[in-house]
Amino acid sequence: MISAPDATRAVVISLNTSFRARDYPVIEWDAAGVPDNVEATMLWYSDIDASRVFRHSLIVEGGRLAPVTLVQDRGWIGRIGGLALVLQGGFAEPIVVPGAAAKPMSATQVLGDRVREWLAFEPWNGASINGLIGGADVQDLPLPALLGAVAGIAALAYAGLARWKPLVFGPVLGAGVAAMFVIAWIAVDARWQWNLLRQASVTHAQYAGKSWQERHLAAEDGPLFAFIEKVRAKLPDPPARVFMVAAAQSLRNRGAYHLYPYNVYFDPWSDTVPPPSAVRPGDFIVVYQRKGIQFDAAQHRLRWDDQAPIGVELLLVDAGAALFRVR
């Protein structure tokens, strides 16, 4: 996991490899959370000219890196001794890069990739209430589209048979065409039921037998909940004005949720901090994983985003987080 780039706004991930280029014409980097503004490049060298480093630009699609075909690249020859991924640009959310795969693009491998994409476990997330993708986040051939096309072609073929032999197929033409799409729907629903069964198992293992505090700590925002619990112990009884500040939208929203019923102020859309004129003595400022917040411990002054500093008292400090009371 890459949390942030270095001072040069660049990240390099290198892998030692040893395979023949002609046997593996496609390289696929398994990456998630890559912003569109990040420039991705793949580097490699081979035993033909080990002193030379070749490069090929990668395309970012939906937060992921598209597979790159190198069979026409003049540098993709010999035995590849190493690969590297270079990401250039700024990003606030972490980028996950588990690794890379060299693919021979044989019929067996391509079919195996499609099946794995269709049957990949799709855990619940904030968008699951609206719909599911139906497997892997990025698919070259989505299963619903394939089944829909197959059902349509089968229906046309059945209609052709009914025209050719109307006495045999004609009387049940409507039922036969409908059966094609019902079968496709059952196949898609069977995949959904299988995913739901696995999700139930994961949810049971994650939350079963735990108290409500333990369930919150086991959730995806468990570290945030643990910090907010420490914050609540420092706050007076409601009502009190609390400003929730975080770089990530999800952390701002969840932090505000955990702080209720206090009077919580936060920006649900963008990473902004209220101007100093918006806060007043007695207010509280919760900062969680947000850069640009500067605290002068000697002067008890807090400033952010080149705004004028304000007087505060530091009540709580944690890894990448703090609680301040405005003086």
pTM for the model stands at: 0.66
What band does 201 get if pLDDT is binned at 50, 70 and 90? very high
The residue ranges of every structural domain in the chain are 10-105, 108-208, 215-326
What band does 4 get if pLDDT is binned at 50, 70 and 90? low
CATH code assigned to 10-105: 2.60.120.260
119, 135 Cβ separation under 8 angstroms: yes
My answer on whether omega of the bond before 239 falls inside 30° of 0, hence cis, is yes
What band does 127 get if pLDDT is binned at 50, 70 and 90? confident
Average per-residue pLDDT in the chain? Answer: 89
pLDDT the model gives residue 177:
81
Percent residues over pLDDT 90 in the chain: 57
**Mean pLDDT value across residues 171-190:** 85
- CB-CB neighbours of 129 under 10 Å: 8
**Mean pLDDT value across residues 270-292:** 93
- CB-CB neighbours of 95 under 10 Å: 21
pLDDT surpassing 80 at residue 8: no
pLDDT the model gives residue 170:
64
Q: What is the pLDDT of residues 225-254, one digit of tens each?
A: 999 999 999 999 988 999 999 999 999 999
How many whole angstroms separate alpha carbon 308 and alpha carbon 302?
Answer: 9
SS3 317: strand
pLDDT the model gives residue 125:
75
pLDDT surpassing 80 at residue 132: no
Of 148-162, 227-241, 270-284, minimum mean pLDDT range: 148-162
**Mean pLDDT value across residues 280-287:** 96
pLDDT the model gives residue 293:
92
